[in-house]
Amino acid sequence: MITTELTIINKLGLHARAAAKLASTANRFASDIKLTSNGKTVDCKSVMALMLLAAAKGTDIKLECNGSDEELAMTEVTGLINNRFDEDE
């Protein structure tokens, strides 16, 4: 299991489109991928669960990947978050 701390930096936070993109990316991997914010941990493969975090811009999150492809999953998901979910800003 590997973990990292990140900050949501895109203007609109973890809104519907960003949550869908994050879940789509996470679903490409066999590993369990969890996101924790404000003491609440959710499965990154669920759009609805991600949206329930209500993670606005500036929210600190913890990303946890556990499984056979955890390193690749961590790289891809971290890249997506750090690239503002590929949104223009």
Q: How far apart are CA 72 and CA 25, in angstroms?
A: 11
6, 9, 13, 15: the catalytic one is: 15
Active-site residue 49, yes or no?
Answer: no
Contacts of 17 (CB under 8 A, 6+ apart): 85, 87
Q: How far apart are CA 80 and CA 74, in angstroms?
A: 10
Query: What are the catalytic residues?
Result: 15
